[in-house]
Amino acid sequence: RKPTINGKQKAKVHDGDSEEEEEEDLHHDDERNEEDEKKFEDDHGEAIRRKLEERRHTIGGIAEHGIIESVEMKQFMCHPHLTFTFGPQINFIIGK
């Protein structure tokens, strides 16, 4: 048995598999993942590239939905009428 450390810094004991068998399993998993990725690329790659090419010259084309361009508030806290118009790089709003 060989103890190994998991992500929470606690030792686990593996029964049975030798280091060579574990490496072979990992190599087999890597090959399977590469095969899956190649199959996905073959099946869907052209459609994905076409969609990305269509969006290339669109301003703000990456995010089509959910973009907040402005906020208008009435009777918000101590403000009778407050309007924010956002620029393209706004992340958050703070006030005084």
**DSSP β-ladder status, 2-5 and 11-14:** antiparallel
CB count within 10 Å of CB 95 equals 9
| pLDDT at site 23 | 72
Contact 82, 76 (CB under 8 A): yes
Q: What is the pLDDT of residues 43-95, one digit of tens each?
A: 999 998 888 888 777 766 555 566 778 888 898 888 899 888 887 776 666 66
Query: In which domain, by residue range, is 29 found?
Result: 2-55
Q: Answer yes or no: is 29 within a domain.
A: yes
- How many domains is the chain partitioned into structurally? 1
Q: Answer yes or no: is 40 within a domain.
A: yes
Q: Answer yes or no: is 45 within a domain.
A: yes
Q: Answer yes or no: is 19 within a domain.
A: yes
Q: Answer yes or no: is 62 within a domain.
A: no
In terms of pTM, does the model score above 0.75? no
Q: Answer yes or no: is 73 within a domain.
A: no
- Of 4, 34, 6, nearest in space to 19 by CA: 4
